[in-house]
Chain A
Amino acid sequence: MTKPAIAAVNDFVVKFANVNGSGSASANELFARAILRMGVPVSPRNIFPSNIQGLPTWYEVRVTEKGHLGRRGGVDMMVAMNPQTWAEDVKEIEPGGYLFYDSTKPMPASMFREDINIIGVPLTAITNATYSDARQRQLFKNIIYVGALSVLLDIDDNEIKRLFGEQFKGKEKLLDSNVKALNLGRDWVTQHADPAAVKLKVRRADNVGDRIFVEGNNAAALGAVYGGATVCAWYPITPSSSLAEAFQAHCKKLRHDKETGKAKYAIVQAEDELASIGIVIGAGWNGARAFTSTSGPGISLMTEFIGLASFAEVPAVIVNVQRGGPSTGMPTRTQQSDLLSCAYASNGDTKHVLLFPEDPKECFDFTADALDLADRLQTLVFVMTDLDIGMNHRLCAPFQWDDKRDLDRGKVMTAADLEAGKNFGRYLDVDGDGIPFRTYPGTHPTKGAYFTRGTTKDEYARYSEEGAVYVRNMERLQKKFDTARRIAPQPVRYSSPKPTRSGVIYFGSTSPSMAEALDQLEAQGHHVNALRVRSFPFSQAVEDFIHEHERVFVVEQNRDAQLRTMLMSEFTLDGRKLVPVLHYDGTPITARFITADIAKKLGQLKVVSFEKAAS
């Protein structure tokens, strides 16, 4: 009896099970990049614990010629390098899938499964025969398995060598030793194994195009550079730390004065998140563009200051790389569970502008846009990304920048304006958009100074607790919020080829899985129109979309259907129309989940398509 064997070209999932801190991350990334260089899209994801060394970590690579960049779910090949998680790793392999393991020590048959294909390579034996240094053994073992896999999966070793060449430019010794390790793995498989036994293959394609492969945190940091941020204050917190670190790295290359070598930016690692946002608000008040990056618990700490920025109308940007909550929650897992805590953060009637990027490209765009919007609206703007986008390499459109784009500093009254006798009221709405003029401190010796405060005040920034004055100010702020509704990124609509009464609303990192799910649903005969929300306050187009459909699924990665709650309260909708589709176990949402859940709910709702109804 021959074992079943999954056969697939350019459409499979390989998962690497490693030990944290063993140097596997760069080898695994090398594997993913080599496939990318063959023109085949990949979507890798780090699955890691809140730990530095010793605990299990996984790296899942979805090879997807069609470019489905969401997590697929299921594993076709497990590269089991961690004895600690062996049992659960073996269990996770799809029937007919493959187990790649280090066969140096013989293992009892009970450790394997009947319905999977076993490929043993004596990695430790090969490594120990070649290297004597402990660190070298650890690092090169990883490269050796990449070499072995490259033969089994038909990955072009020239692409791997080219990647080595780029990585170790000018470090010939390192280059040579890595190539040597790669060849050790390749030679062993060529001589001792049958590559044809593995029916998962990579075949050269042309589906990557000019896309780039980058982490969202890196992209957002670059967006902050392009958006003109000069002050960054932050406090380390997973999964946002790499964003501030990337900002520092970009600034070192892009923001030093050519003649003096001095920095055109200031980065402060603050003592906590309260100080981070305080520094950002101080800089924003004083006319510099400033931002911080953080995650859920940091937002909780910043809440008082968020209210101040909003009520005193000081520009500020927070990039919230969301993780699993509540409390310390799941620091290394992904969720979209800070919508409510950000949208309505702080005491009193407060609302804030949120932007929802779908991928690194939009992390770049929206962080730059957020800096403009914060100045234009004179308020705090959140960029709501998450761990799935922030800490994973994602294939996306290349970054673009319009050479003619100027930093939009919003309504700022200058010394010349004041000298010319322009009426300056710090909280005076002069043209109906709810946004007043501001002056930077130090503008004019006798005109334009005012006192900024979190207490209530009149149009000329004078302290007042008079009811009518307070209400006027609150209504102006509401008007300003309506202005934000018009100028923030508008939703993107995808229409089903057939007319339908069903719609779906989603946002952020759900995007690639949603796109795939829409294809799957369409293939199953479920026609669904889709709307990707890109900002809060919601555009009028969002309400129109909901009214256009009989039922609207709201797909999100949290338990409490936070986006749905916001839609209901902002538009005063009947909740029965909005059907929640919720995934919140900390793993990225998959198309399989969305498709199954929506198909099931359409069945329960006994939805009949237009065509059937007409026939």
Chain B
Amino acid sequence: MTYIAKPRLHHPSLVKNKAGYTRRDYEGAVSTLCAGCGHDSISAAIIQASYELDVLPHQIAKLSGIGCSSKAPTYFLGASHGFNTVHGRMPSVMTGANLANRDLIYMGVSGDGDSASIGLGQFAHIMRRGVNMTYIVMNNGVYGLTKGQFSATADKGSISKKGVANSDESIDLVSLAILMGATFVGRSFSGDKHQLVPLIKAAMAHEGAAFLDVISPCVAFNNHPGSTKSYDYVREHNEALNRVDFIESREEITTSYDPGTLTTVQQHDGSILRLRKLGEDYDASDKVAAMKRVQEGMAAGEVVTGLLYVDPSPKDLHHHLNTVDAALNTLETADLCPGPAALDRINAGLR
């Protein structure tokens, strides 16, 4: 029922952020997803992260593919332009959008069917190119909108609601993203907003390809015993490596932490990530160690969560292409059209 506008009742006591907006200004339409859907919790986390980051609501562009997850952008950031593209091809559209205007924040929202099945190719290539974006997969291991078929991230051996066991190997998007060159890779759980909100904030501040795999149980088709993406299963098997605190660059860095359990990472834009160590000694800037830890977790049946890998000085696609600082969509005739004199010279060279 997205056509029913959400009442815009602004409570005078709502706290405004530094940009002058309340949390309500980052909300979207009323969700039409099932009650209790993990995706709605992720939407709420995106709203919270955007509000806390003090970004102007219209300076975000949100893009998605097709599926339950891809419907989610309607339910957050109502003042942002959104693009519900075609199934599995959101990455290319987001790449083009990013090339056209490097000044916006790009939020790609996708699902496991959209990114790991039909869209696996584009998923890999957008990571390779280093598009400056936050790419969130709302991962429930199942096709919700077509009623319960396995997706490519469903774990081998997991049981569908109809009682069928999955015999195909699952695709681990986190491993793939690291392998393909994403410069910020994290995993979280829709039910853990304390971990998720700072991760989203850090991903949005990251000036490169940031990927977040968010396990998001499907209450309708994948929340039963035998599923490895149900609320109960993920809570029991969650192995958090770290807890991220995100501090914007302009804030003072607090120093009251125990050196044994905290490390800090400064991102290219100046923002600080404080990683509260929960697991064994884990260095999120070590790509090889990150790959190893994720694989070990999988072998042990753990869902390893937290900030798994970050390159604090990423290079994005605009850097590789050496594009001008101004957004390409602001260039005008005088900037782009070489004019008749240049054409005369070209003609002369073709005779």
Residues of chain A touching chain B, judged by Cβ–Cβ distance below 8 Å, are 208, 210-214, 222, 225-228, 230-231, 233, 254-255, 257, 260-268, 270-272, 274-288, 290, 304-305, 308, 398-403, 405-407, 439-446, 449-455, 458, 462-464
Contact of A402 among B59, B74, B86, B340 (CB under 8 A): B340
Contact of A445 with B79 in the complex, beta carbons under 8 Å: yes
Q: Give the residue of A262, A286, A305 whose beta carbon is less than 8 angstroms from that of B100.
A: A286
Q: Are B96 and A284 in contact (CB under 8 A)?
A: yes
Interface of chain B, main secondary structure: helix
Q: Cβ of B80 < 8 Å from any Cβ of A?
A: yes
B58, B61, B83, B99: the one within 8 Å of A288 (CB): B99
Chain A residues in 8 Å Cβ range of B56: 445
A454:B78 contact, CB within 8 angstroms: no
Nearest residue (CB) in A for B28 is A451
Whether A222 touches B89, Cβ cut-off 8 Å, given contacts A231-B99, A403-B339, A407-B333, is no
For residue B329, which residues in chain A have a CB less than 8 angstroms away from its CB?
Answer: 230, 283, 286-288, 440
The CA of A504 and the CA of B237, in the complex, are separated in Å by: 75
From B85, B336, B343, B350, give the contact of A264 (CB < 8 A).
B336
Q: Tell me whether B252 is interfacial, beta carbon within 8 Å.
A: no
Least distance between B250 CB and chain A CB atoms (Å): 21
In whole angstroms, what is the CA distance A276 to B93 when docked?
9
C-alpha spacing A502/B249, complex, angstroms: 77
CB–CB B81/A449 < 8 A: yes
CB distance A272 to B121 under 8 Å? yes
Listed by A's residue number, 29 A-B pairs whose Cβ atoms lie within 8 Å are A210-B347, A211-B351, A213-B350, A226-B337, A228-B337, A262-B324, A274-B92, A275-B91, A278-B86, A282-B92, A283-B100, A284-B100, A286-B61, A286-B97, A286-B329, A288-B329, A290-B100, A400-B340, A400-B343, A402-B340, A403-B340, A407-B333, A440-B329, A442-B103, A445-B56, A449-B79, A451-B82, A451-B83, A454-B86
Which one of A226, A254, A275, A288 contacts B328 once the chains associate, using CB atoms below 8 Å?
A288
- Which 7 interchain pairs have the tightest Cβ spacing? A282-B96, A278-B92, A288-B100, A441-B81, A287-B329, A286-B100, A279-B96
Name B310-351 residues within 8 Å CB distance of A. Answer: 317-318, 321-325, 328-329, 331-333, 335-340, 342-343, 346-347, 350-351
Since A262-B324, A407-B333 are in contact, a sample of 4 more A-B pairs with Cβ atoms closer than 8 Å, ordered by chain A residue number, is A274-B89, A282-B96, A440-B81, A449-B58
- The residues of B that contact A270 with a CB separation of less than 8 Å are 92, 125
Q: B57: CB under 8 A from chain A?
A: yes
Specify which chain A residues have a CB less than 8 angstroms from the CB of B337 in the assembled complex.
225-228, 401, 405, 407
Interface residues of B (CB under 8 A from A): 2-3, 56-59, 61, 63, 73-74, 78-86, 89, 91-101, 103-104, 121-122, 125, 129, 317-318, 321-325, 328-329, 331-333, 335-340, 342-343, 346-347, 350-351
For the complex formed, measure the closest distance between the CB of A246 and the CB atoms of chain B, giving whole angstroms. Answer: 12
Chain A residues with Cβ below 8 Å from B92 are 233, 270, 274-279, 282
Measured between beta carbons, the chain B residues less than 8 angstroms from A268 are 95, 99, 129, 317, 321
Chain A residues with Cβ below 8 Å from B59 are 442
Chain B residues with CB under 8 Å of A442's CB are: 58-59, 61, 81, 101, 103-104
Asked if residues A441 and B61 are in contact (CB atoms below 8 Å), the reply is: yes
Task: Report the separation of the CA atoms of residues A401 and B79 in the bound assembly, to the nearest whole angstrom.
Answer: 41
Take A230-B331, A262-B324 as given contacts and tell me if A279 and B86 are in contact as well, using a CB distance cutoff of 8 Å.
Answer: no
Q: Which of B104, B318, B347 has the most CB of A within 10 A?
A: B347
Q: Is B324 a contact of A260 with CB atoms below 8 Å?
A: yes
